[in-house]
Structures are given as structure tokens and as C-alpha cells.
A and B are shown apart, each in its own frame.
Chain A
Amino acid sequence: MNQDLQKERAGASFIPELLTNVLDGSPENTRRRREIENLILKDPDFQHENLNFLSRSQRYEVAVKKSATMVEKMRKFGIADPDEIMWFKKLHMVNFVEPVGLNYSMFIPTLLNQGTTAQQEKWLHSSKGLEIIGTYAQTEMGHGTHLRGLETTATYDPETQEFILNSPTVTSIKWWPGGLGKTSNHAIVLAQLITQGKCYGLHAFIVPIRELGTHKPLPGITVGDIGPKFGYDEMDNGYLKMDNYRIPRENMLMKHVKPDGTYVKPLSNKLTYGTMVFIRSFLVGESARCLSKACTIAIRYSAVRHQSEIKPGEPEPQILDYQTQQYKLFPLLATAYAFQFVGAYMKETYHRINEDIGHGDLSELPELHALTAGLKAFTSWTANAGIEACRMACGGHGYSHCSGLPNIYVNFTPTCTFEGENTVMMLQTARFLMKSYDQVHSGKLVCGMVSYLNDLPSQRIQPQQVAVWPTAVDINSPDSLTEAYKLRAARLVEIAAKNLQTEVIRRKSKEVAWNLASIDLVRASEAHCHYVAVKLFTEKVLQIPEKSIQAVLRRLCLLYSLYGISQNAGDFLQGSIMTESQITQVNERIKELLTAIRPDAVALVDAFDFQDVTLGSVLGRYDGNVYENMFEWAKKSPLNKTEVHESYKHLKSLHSKL
């Protein structure tokens, strides 16, 4: 063990294990998680070469192999709980990319939701047993978020009772679906249904794309890999072009279509919200995990790395002792904790509401749906920038793949665009905020996270006295800071609502007005989400019984709240929520907190409890033996296999010709 880390761990004010239990939800959860981890880490079937040294095609191969192994092992180990599946998968592949993943996450669920009993009988068994491997092809090259814009057509031919599938334009080629390029032999394709000369909108069709036995594309199908990407090297995201490709009538998923061809809407659109809420709450958790990993690497390395001098003549200090380094990393550490609790809250809420739905109560779904959209965007944007900041805080070595940080970044960053592009997500939340604002304006109270809109001065019959709402903020009280964030959100929601109204009056068109107010609307959503994060963190801290843990989390919670105020000081000043001298105090208090958190920094990242294999980082090793291992790592690089590289021939010819 590196001496610096040993000292750091000895000096911590709390026992990391207790905090780990808080993060996992209970000591029992921690135990079970580790049990599953050990199943994988001790299993020789899951060992693999360092992915960084493999070509893209090799990485894909490793992923396919592990994907296949995983299916069997999960069955063998009896892992079925969604959370446990997540732990299991995340561990056995550092990057959590599985080419056959969409078979389970999209193909089968869609079959269950939209297939008739007969269709399920026909396909479900073989897809569950991987007799066929399916994927889900929705996004097209020219069309993403706006579903109605999809161009792929499925035209019914009554003579043969078949659908004729076509990709009529370049922009209609299916693009991006995971597992489509090389792995799958079936796809659920979303296409515009045309029958008797009329278009009936989007429907889902089961389309065989490769021949069983040879895996060759079927006639009329053009399928392949979309080429190299920023990350996700292991995944064969694919394209699919169909030319007059015929499938039997039974391949259209028809649970919601009556035999006479009329379309029955599913019971409630709201029900599909449930799945989306689940996925988005998972992504919020993913933001927290990835940022936590990046913090673990950067903070451990900062405790090991010595550089320059604070005082002449003294030995080079740990870079974690520099105020600027603390200022880069500790607010991110606090953010990682905040997002861990936001993610946990969303998961709990999802489960609770799921029970309500079971009892037929759908009342809370719209708010939750709106909130999760914004929180997915808010946390993924913040984590995206945070991971990159952690990487840069590691200086030059952060740029090497041995740090593990480039991988974390490139595999995390698509979270900002998939499952709903972030700006679009923010605008969904804004729509809900505007609706709530209007509701209050028309005299009805709103509840839940937006209930602060009831208290807006402009909404009251008796205007509140100005002195009542500002300046009372106590910067040492998390509750009081939560109030400050609430006021900021209320103010920005109101500004957005008023600007929207002005534009509506001026432009006559609601849609044009919406576009011209959208920057304000996104701002309002961000402020709302920030408030929610501060509120949830604050509430969580109060629930911690163990004093030493509560104390250290309280410091992080304060830092998270104060740092956000400092970064957005304009909003707090302009809204007269805080005074200039309070902002000055906030900045001073942040520096005090950096010093207070410093002795616990390493223990705080230890509490995330990532195993070295999961971190995939030489810089972030638990034992801190960074430099020896960096040297060993580099020596393993394929470029060093021979002492004289084959390209020496070019060098040799160089001086003979010049």
C-alpha cells in the first residue's frame, strides 16, 4: 500500500463501510452486492485482456463472448432482481456494453407489450432461449426524437397477405440500433403502416434480417455496422435498409389492433410512462456512478501525486493540498453524493408508484414523468462535464488510457443524447412547470415538488411584503439553502412563464412563442432540478442516524449547495434572494469546507466501494501503487511487442533519400 494513501485512510473521521451501507441502502444490500461481485471476479470465464490494447473488432468479439457467458451464468446463479442484474452486468464488463443486450431490454419487452398471445407463443420462447437474437430498430439516419417523422414504410399487400417493407430514402435507413450491425438475426422495426392507400402511422413489425444457420443478410436486406464511434467500441450499432422486403401479415405486432383492422389505444398512455421513468431513474443512477468513479480515480491519484512546492525548500506536496485542486474535485465529489441520493430517491419513488398503479392510482405519474426527464438531463450534463474535469485534474496522465478516465467519459457521454436528447428533456419538464404555473394562476393549488409555485408573490391576492422573502438565508443551514434554491426556481419559472406569455401575444402562434422562449424555459427547468437535488440531499442527511457519517455528509451537502450558489450567483443576486455580502460569505465558507473535507477525501471515495477491476484505472488503484503499474501497463502495449518497430523501414529510407 502506498504510504500517502495509508496515511489518508488512517486520518479519516469516519468508517467508510458505514457510508457504503448508506449508499447501498442497507448492510444487507452491501453484502449481497459484494457476493455477486465475487462470483464474477473469481470466475475464470470472465477474465479478459485489457480492452485498451485490443482493436475494435477484438473488443466486439470479447463482448459477444461475455454476453453469451453472462446469459448462462445469471441463470446458474439465480440472479433475477433488476438491481442485481444491473450489479452483475456492470461488473463483468467494465464498460457494460453487450451486443445481445437489446434482445432482453427491448426485443422481448416490446413483444410482451405489443404482441398478441399467439405472437408471444411464436417468438417469445425462441428469443428468450436465444434461438433467435433480436434488436429494436426505431431511430433512422434522418430522424430521432420526433417519432412521427420516421419514413420507413410497411405496405400491406392483400393478395399475398404480406407487408412490403421499404426504406424509401437515405434518411430512412435505420441507424444506431445496438446489436444490429453484426449480431442480431431479427429486428423489431418501427414503420409507417400503409394499407388500402392510407397511412395509419407507426407500427411495430418483426423482421428476420439474417439467415439462420449462415447468418448472411437475407435478400432485400442491407445490414451492417455504422463504423467507429467515440466510445462503445464493443457494440455493433448498425444500419438496416430494406428493399421491397416481404414479411407475413402475422409479423405485425397486433395486440392493440382488432381483427377488423381498427386500432385500440392501450389502456393508458400513462402506463408507458412507467418504463420511461424506470430507464431514466437508472440513467440518473448511472450519472452518479460514473461521476463517482471519476472522482475516485482523480482523488486517489491526487493524494499519490506530488508536485511543485507550496513553500520553498519543503518536499513536493500532494497535489490534493493545493486549493485549486480541492476546488476542482471536492464540489464534484459532493455532486456525486448528491446524485447518488437523487438516483436512490427516483428508484424508490418508481417502486412506490408502481404499487399505486397496481391499485389503479395513476395520479402521481405525470409529475414523476416530467421530473425524471429533467433530472436525467440535469444529472447527465453535470456528470459529463464533471468526468472531463476529473480527467483534466489528473494532468497529462489523465489523457492516457491507463487512467481509465477517457473510457468512462466516452461511454458516459451518449447519456446526454440517448433516451431523449437533453434539451428536449429539459423542455418536457418545462412544459409541466408551465402547466403547473398556469394551474396556480387560475386559482388551483399544485402539490409535490412544484408546490412552491403556490407561494409566488404574484400568485397571491395579497402581495407579500418584500422583506419577508429575501435575505433571511442562513448559509450554514442546509434547510435555509434549500429555501434559497426554491426561491430561485420559483423566480425563473415565473420569468419563463411571463416571457412565454408575451411571445404568445406577440406571435399569435403558441409553437413559435414556445421556441422563442425556450432558452428561458430550459433555464427554469435547470433551476427546478437543482432545487430538487439540493432538497433531496438535505433531507437524506437528516435521516442518517450515525453521527460521524451525518457530519461528513452534512459538509458535502453544504458544499454542494453553496458551490451551486457561487456558480449561479447572478440568479441569487438578481432575485434579491441573497445579498452581495452573503455571496462573499458563501465564497469564504466554500474554502473553509474544502479544508474541512480534505482529511476525509480519500475515505469518501473509498466508500463508493469500487473494485479496481471496475474502475479500470492505473491512477485510481486502491493500493496507490500508480507509477510501478503504469510502467508495467505500458510495457504490455502491443506497440512494444518488438524492440524495433516494423515501421523502421520508413525511417531507414528517410535519410537515404533526403
Chain B
Amino acid sequence: MVGSPVHRVSAEDAWSRSMHPDIESERHSQSFNVEELTNILDGGAQNTALRRKVESIIHSEPELSLKNNYFMTQNERYEAAIKKKFHILMLAQRLGWSEGSRELQYASRTVSGDLGFAIHHIFQKTIQTLGSEEQIAKWDPLCSKFQILGTYAQTEMGHGTYLQGLETEATYDAATQEFVVHSPTMTAIKWWPGDLGRSATHALVQAQLICSGARHGMHAFIVPIRSLDDHSPLPGITTGDIGPKMDFDHTDNGFLKLDHVRIPRENMLNRFAQVLPDGTYVKLGVPKSNYLSMVAVRVDMLLGEVLPLLQKACTIAVRYAVVRRQSRLRPSDPEAKVLDYQTQQQKLFPPLAMAYAFHFVANNLLEFFRHSYSSILDGDFALLPELHALSAGLKAMLSDFCTQAVEQCRRACGGHGYSKLSGLPSLLTRVTASCTYEGENTVLYLQTARFLIKSYLNTQKSPGSASKGSLPQSVTYLTAPEVARCPARTAADFLHPKLYTTAWAHVAVRLIKDSVHHLQTLRQAGADEHDAWNQTTVIHVQAAKAHLYYVTVKIFTEALEKLESQPAIQQVLKRLCDLYALHGILTNSGDFLHDGFLSGAQTDMARKAYLDLLPLIRKDAILLTDAFDFTDQCLNSALGCYDGHAYERLFQWAQKSPTNTEGNPAYEKYIRPLLQGRRARL
């Protein structure tokens, strides 16, 4: 038995010094080295060491504890997040953690991103990319020293994804050399920006530029909104918090209504466009980098926000499932661990497989982003369309799947999964927001679909000239030789990565062709281009989803190939990869049976292969979640601690709830009169 690593133990309670026997037995025989798998996930043993060092520093600071989060009001959460941010900034200063460093990333992971001023950094970054040298010189130091606090105000109450629809106006007044920034309607009120409700002193406002009588589209303006002396809203500014939400209590999402607010001409960010003193509009280029920063946010959020939420949910649900005993498998046995039920495995292992699959996918995307980023900086934009399509699609797919999987983990914990103390409700309310922020998912799937259709049409244009090399790498399979029938003859054949990758490629290609076909049929029938598009969007989304599934399966299988030197780990991950691919095939079996690619008999084989994987993964399930290496403090779950003492903790935590420590005013006011009033009358 490998002793419990010190970094995992919750220092504060007595139970963590002993292991619950039901979880201890799961760790007895190790079919692979958990530490090595952790190193793979961290991207090297050095990173693991650094992360743990940061974690131990963070956990030794009581100000950074997450312990009371479940008991706090929205107000308290906000205040605590500001305090924590403040504390981490001081730590960073003391320890020399620079902005954007690994240490700060790990610190943020350790406190589950429960920090204020997230948007302040976006404010600063946007000035860096859209501002002129003078503007950067003026504003950047103010941001770094927190002498001003910024927010990024784009979304309006009535307008989201579609930027051209924004209504806020910035009208140039040549007489005073000022812009007049104004919200002309109710729907134009800026709505949702983080850090706006109570924190920000300045907002980067996206508004329609109007000068010399013409409209010039969206531009960014720096608008002071709160007094630097007493923080009160400046004249013409109506601002506040948008009220309670499903989660993100620590963030003060806000509203901003501008009533003819005047700002100097210099406050328009003017790297790519300028308004001259006389009101002449000058365009200086296309801000592709602006576009790129949106892509960067989508890539970052997958690793920084979305994926850890799923990994935590899996850790909690799988650990609880070996501690929880329920009913009997045989009449003479003691009650069985719920993880031994096939239906429980069916609920938890596909999410676990996704948690690993998406780790490799998100890292692969990050690499691709870095690679394309450097060529874009060199002025080569060739990779941009693919990068955009891939990041949009994967953001949509991963946020969708992670949300469903987290909810599945939550429900797999039965009643206790409904308690906030399990940690699971908060994981869900947090991850589900990612389906609509940074681009609504359906809109994003359709962007991927557009890219696929375009790529496919390119392969059709001139068969000779469209050499394989010119096709973006993620869609080269569009020209691969057709395999009309799946060659599988036994269930075991479905455990060949090549076989299931080909199966996914086949379905993706068929659906993309179908998409194109539907579109062309409508066009030929006389439908206008845009109507035709709208009337075929359901199939486009379906095609994009199949393509993305194919991409994720392919990335996972390729990642496995690189693990040859660690056969034990490779084997256990391959089972997850097989499960991931087959789970997708079986839940979409209609698509595979549709053109006879899979026969009915083959579908049964795939199902058998899938079911046979469950007991194999069962043996390693706890170790696979241990490898994510979350500290107990970071998981913040009464059910999911490393030592397995779920019930003791649940009882202890519940007793600390304010409902138990702060008396019961309802008794004096209502219950007592109810009881006594009745008695008097009876």
C-alpha cells in the first residue's frame, strides 16, 4: 500500500489520518503508477512538483480557504473573492510570481478560480492589442498597479453574439473633440460584464462609432464610470449589479447605462482606426489580433475552467461510489459498493473517459493555437480559418459534454449529490455557464459547419489541383479513400483505434456531404442563399458534431501512441479511449447503421465490446481519479475526500451550517404562535 501522499490530506480533521477501508482496498493493487500518470497530466514531473508547491503555499493561507463558500451569501462571496485576489497579488509580489506565470495559474486552479478582477485582465489585454503605443504607455501601468479597475463592456441586454447588432453609440463632437457615448434604448444597456456591477472604475465600451454623419461600426472606447475618490458613479452613468444568478456569485456581473457621457477623443483605442480632430475617420488596418484574442479566450477556458470541473466531479462521484453501499448483489452478501452495479458504471465511466479524452484534446488545441499564433504574428494567416473553426467547435462540444457529464456525476450520487456540501451542484452551475458564454454553442457549431462545407466544396472544385496538402490538417480525411462497410467481425475488432477512428470519419464525411447536398438542393429549387442556410442548420449542427467527435477520438488515439514507453499507463488509458469512442458510436448508432456502414450484428458486437470494458475500468477507477491529484481543500467536497470518510465529514460540515449556528427566528415569529395559538383554540 502506498501511503497517502501528504499533499492530499486535509490537515484540519482527524479522519484523514486513517483511510476508509472501502477506499483503501481500491488502492491496494495498482496496475499502473499513479504518480506517473499525474506527471503526464501535468506535462512533466517538474510541473507536478511546482504545482504541489504552490498548492501547499495556498493551503497554508487561511484567507484563501474555500471552506465556507457553500454557506455564504452573494455579497459575502463577492467580498471574499476580492479579498482572495488581493491576498494572492501580495503573495505573488512577495514570491516573485510574474503575471501569466505557471505559479499564478496553479494558484488560480487551487482556489478554483474563486477570485475577483478576472475581467480587469481582459480590459488590460484589449488595450494592449487595440491601443496605440501612447495609449498603452498611458493605461497599462495604471492597470498593472490597480490604480484603475477595468471591465470589458460588450454584451447588451438585447444583443449578444451578433456584434453588429449592438446599439450603444459613440458620436464624435468636433467642436469639443469629444465622443458622446450613449445608450439610446433599454435594450442597449450593457448587461453581464464581470467586475462591472461594483468594482470597475473604467469600462472598455464597445460602441457604434458615428462621425461626420456616417456610422463606422464597432469600436472600443475607454469610459471612466466611477469616481476614483469615492467610487460613486460619475454623472450620466447608471450602473449596478444584475442580481442573483445560478452561480458566479463571486463575480459582480453588472449593467451600465450611459446618458450622453462625454470622453476625450484620445479615449478611442486607435491602433487600427482613428478619428482625426476634424472628425475624419481613418482606417489603419484590420484588427485580426482582436479576433485572435477571442480564440485565445476559448482555448484557455477549456483547460483553465471547464475541464477541471469535470475532473473534480468524476473524482467526487467515483470515490463516493466505492464508499457508498446500497442493497445486495447476492442475498447472502453484505450491501455492495454502488460502483459494482453495472448501471452505476454506465453512468460514471463515460464521464471519466471524457475527462481524459478532453485533457488531450484541450492540450492539443492549445499547441495548435501556439503554433498558429506564431505564424500569424509573422503575417501568415493561412491557419486562421482552421484555428477558428476548431476552437469554436471544440469549445461548444467540450462545454456541452462536460455539462452533461457533471450533471450525470451529480445524479449518480443520489440524494447526497443534491447537497451543496457534496460540491457537485456548484460544479454544475459553474460548468453550465460555459455553454452560453464566449459564444453560444449552437452558433459556434454552425461556424465549424461553415468551415467544413467550404473545405468539402474545395475538394470538389478541381480534383486535380486540390492536393491533399492544401487541405487544412483537421479535415484531410475528407479526401481519404471511402470505406463503405465496417470490416469488424468480432467484438474484439472494436478495440482497434484505427477501426473506430475510421468509423467516425466515415459518419462525419457522410453527414458533411449530406449537409452540402441539402443546401444545394434548396438552392437549386430557387431558395435564396440565406433562407437555404437557415432551413438546413439542423443537419449542419449534426455534421459539425460528428466531425468534432472524430477529431477528439483521433487526438486521443494519437496521444496514446506517444505513451509506448509506459505500457501500463498506455493500457489503462486505451481502455478509456475505447470506451469514449464506443460510447459515442452506441449513443448515435442510427448514424452508423444508416447507410449500412455498420450492420445490426456489428452494432451488437460494439455493444458487447463496450460492456466488457466496464469491469476492466472498474478495477482502476479510483486510481484514475487519484491521478487528477486534486487536494481535498480544492475539491471542497464532503463526499469526495481522498480518505473516503464521506459520512463523518458530511455530518460535521452540516453542523457548521448557519442554519444550525445562528438560531431560528422563524420559531419565535411563526412556529410558536402556530403551536400555541392552536392549543389555545383547541
Interface residues of A (CB under 8 A from B): 52-53, 55-57, 60-61, 64-65, 68, 125-126, 129-133, 139, 141-146, 149, 170-171, 173, 175-176, 181-183, 185, 212, 215, 224-231, 236, 239, 305-312, 316, 321-325, 327-328, 388, 392, 395-396, 398-402, 406, 410, 413-414, 416-418, 421, 423, 427, 509, 511-512, 515-519, 522, 566, 568-576, 580, 583, 587, 591, 627-628, 630-631, 633-640, 643-645, 647-648, 650-655, 657-658
Q: Which of B355-375 contact A (CB under 8 A)?
A: none
Residues of A within 8 A of B160 (CB): 307, 395-396
B251 to chain A, nearest CB (A): 12
Q: 5 more A-B contacts (CB under 8 A) besides A322-B534, A392-B441? A: A239-B651, A309-B162, A310-B530, A400-B246, A575-B600
Q: Are A228 and B187 in contact (CB under 8 A)?
A: no
| B interface residues, how many (CB within 8 angstroms) | 131
Q: Are A574 and B531 in contact (CB under 8 A)?
A: no
Number of A-B contacts (CB under 8 A): 348
CA distance A631 to B243 in the complex (A): 10
Is the C-beta of B669 less than 8 angstroms from some C-beta in chain A? yes
- A65-B669, A310-B530 known; A230+B341 contact, CB < 8 A: no
Q: Are B669 and A310 in contact (CB under 8 A)?
A: no
- A518-B342, A583-B590 known; A639+B530 contact, CB < 8 A: no
A35 to chain B, nearest CB (A): 27
Q: Are A68 and B147 in contact (CB under 8 A)?
A: no
Is the C-beta of B275 less than 8 angstroms from some C-beta in chain A? no
Q: Are A182 and B446 in contact (CB under 8 A)?
A: no
A307 (CB) vs chain B CBs: closest residue: B162
Interface residues of B (CB under 8 A from A): 70-71, 73-75, 78-79, 82-83, 86, 89-90, 93, 145-147, 149, 155, 157-162, 165, 186-187, 189, 192, 197-199, 230-233, 240-246, 252, 255, 324-331, 335, 340-343, 346-347, 407, 411, 414-415, 417-421, 425, 429, 432-433, 435-437, 440-442, 446, 528, 530-531, 533-539, 541, 586, 588-596, 600, 603, 611, 647-648, 650-651, 653-660, 662, 664-667, 669-675, 678-679, 682
The contact sample of 6 A-B pairs, CB cut-off 8 A, is A224-B659, A324-B442, A569-B591, A580-B595, A587-B539, A635-B240
Residues of A within 8 A of B347 (CB): 423
Residues of A within 8 A of B436 (CB): 392, 395-396, 398-399
B648 (CB) vs chain A CBs: closest residue: A170
CA distance A118 to B446 in the complex (A): 70
B54 to chain A, nearest CB (A): 20
A572 to chain B, nearest CB (A): 7
Q: Are A305 and B158 in contact (CB under 8 A)?
A: yes
- A311-B528, A395-B160 known; A170+B328 contact, CB < 8 A: no
Q: Are B537 and A324 in contact (CB under 8 A)?
A: yes
A617 to chain B, nearest CB (A): 13
Q: Are B655 and A634 in contact (CB under 8 A)?
A: no
Residues of A within 8 A of B425 (CB): 229-230, 410
Q: Are B158 and A570 in contact (CB under 8 A)?
A: no
CA distance A513 to B342 in the complex (A): 11
Q: Are B83 and A650 in contact (CB under 8 A)?
A: yes
Q: Are A307 and B654 in contact (CB under 8 A)?
A: no
- A144-B414, A305-B158 known; A215+B243 contact, CB < 8 A: no
Residues of B within 8 A of A401 (CB): 243-246
A315 to chain B, nearest CB (A): 10
Q: Are A421 and B414 in contact (CB under 8 A)?
A: yes
Q: Are B596 and A650 in contact (CB under 8 A)?
A: no
CA distance A650 to B534 in the complex (A): 50
Q: Are A651 and B82 in contact (CB under 8 A)?
A: yes
- A142-B325, A215-B671, A650-B82 known; A639+B593 contact, CB < 8 A: no
Find B78's partner among A126, A308, A647 (CB 8 Å cutoff). Answer: A647
* Most chain A CB inside 10 Å of its own CB: which residue of B435, B441, B531, B538: B538
- A143-B326, A182-B664 known; A130+B654 contact, CB < 8 A: no
Residues of B within 8 A of A650 (CB): 79, 82-83, 86
Q: Are B330 and A569 in contact (CB under 8 A)?
A: no
B227 (CB) vs chain A CBs: closest residue: A644
Residues of B within 8 A of A323 (CB): 534-538
A509 (CB) vs chain B CBs: closest residue: B330
Q: Are A631 and B418 in contact (CB under 8 A)?
A: no
Q: Are A644 and B232 in contact (CB under 8 A)?
A: yes
Residues of B within 8 A of A183 (CB): 666, 671
Q: Are B240 and A634 in contact (CB under 8 A)?
A: yes
Q: Are A324 and B541 in contact (CB under 8 A)?
A: yes
Residues of B within 8 A of A225 (CB): 654, 657, 659-660
A229 to chain B, nearest CB (A): 5
Q: Are A228 and B660 in contact (CB under 8 A)?
A: no
Residues of A within 8 A of B340 (CB): 515
CA distance A392 to B417 in the complex (A): 22
Q: Are B538 and A519 in contact (CB under 8 A)?
A: no
* Most chain B CB inside 10 Å of its own CB: which residue of A392, A634, A636: A634
Q: Are A574 and B329 in contact (CB under 8 A)?
A: no
B429 (CB) vs chain A CBs: closest residue: A406
Find B341's partner among A307, A309, A414, A515 (CB 8 Å cutoff). Answer: A515
- A176-B415, A227-B421 known; A640+B530 contact, CB < 8 A: no
A344 to chain B, nearest CB (A): 27
Residues of A within 8 A of B530 (CB): 309-312
Find A643's partner among B155, B233, B343, B446 (CB 8 Å cutoff). Answer: B233
Q: Are A516 and B78 in contact (CB under 8 A)?
A: no
Find A417's partner among B86, B346, B414 (CB 8 Å cutoff). Answer: B414
Residues of B within 8 A of A566 (CB): 590
* Most chain B CB inside 10 Å of its own CB: which residue of A146, A395, A568: A395
Q: Are B662 and A57 in contact (CB under 8 A)?
A: yes
Residues of B within 8 A of A392 (CB): 432, 435-436, 441
Residues of A within 8 A of B667 (CB): 182, 215
A473 to chain B, nearest CB (A): 15
Q: Are B243 and A568 in contact (CB under 8 A)?
A: no
- A316-B165, A417-B411, A417-B415 known; A631+B326 contact, CB < 8 A: no
Residues of B within 8 A of A322 (CB): 534, 537
Residues of A within 8 A of B255 (CB): 631, 634
Q: Are A57 and B83 in contact (CB under 8 A)?
A: no
Q: Are B146 and A149 in contact (CB under 8 A)?
A: no
CA distance A442 to B452 in the complex (A): 56
CA distance A18 to B137 in the complex (A): 69
Find A229's partner among B75, B155, B418 (CB 8 Å cutoff). Answer: B418
Find A574's partner among B593, B648, B669, B671 (CB 8 Å cutoff). Answer: B593
A393 (CB) vs chain B CBs: closest residue: B442
A139 to chain B, nearest CB (A): 7
Q: Are B537 and A149 in contact (CB under 8 A)?
A: no
CA distance A639 to B611 in the complex (A): 52
Q: Are B660 and A643 in contact (CB under 8 A)?
A: no
Find A654's partner among B86, B165, B246, B593 (CB 8 Å cutoff). Answer: B86
A647 to chain B, nearest CB (A): 4
CA distance A585 to B528 in the complex (A): 23
Q: Are A651 and B342 in contact (CB under 8 A)?
A: no
Q: Are B343 and A56 in contact (CB under 8 A)?
A: no
- A61-B666, A388-B432, A639-B243 known; A182+B79 contact, CB < 8 A: no
Residues of B within 8 A of A406 (CB): 245-246, 429
Q: Are A142 and B324 in contact (CB under 8 A)?
A: yes
A398 to chain B, nearest CB (A): 7
B148 (CB) vs chain A CBs: closest residue: A655
CA distance A145 to B414 in the complex (A): 10
Q: Are A399 and B246 in contact (CB under 8 A)?
A: yes
Find B342's partner among A56, A182, A519 (CB 8 Å cutoff). Answer: A519
Residues of A within 8 A of B671 (CB): 64, 68, 133, 183, 215
Give 8 nearest A-B pairs by CB, closest first.
A569-B590, A570-B589, A227-B657, A637-B243, A225-B659, A308-B162, A230-B425, A146-B327
Q: Are A654 and B146 in contact (CB under 8 A)?
A: yes
CA distance A328 to B162 in the complex (A): 20
Q: Are B242 and A569 in contact (CB under 8 A)?
A: no
Residues of A within 8 A of B78 (CB): 639, 647
* Most chain A CB inside 10 Å of its own CB: which residue of B79, B155, B161, B659: B659
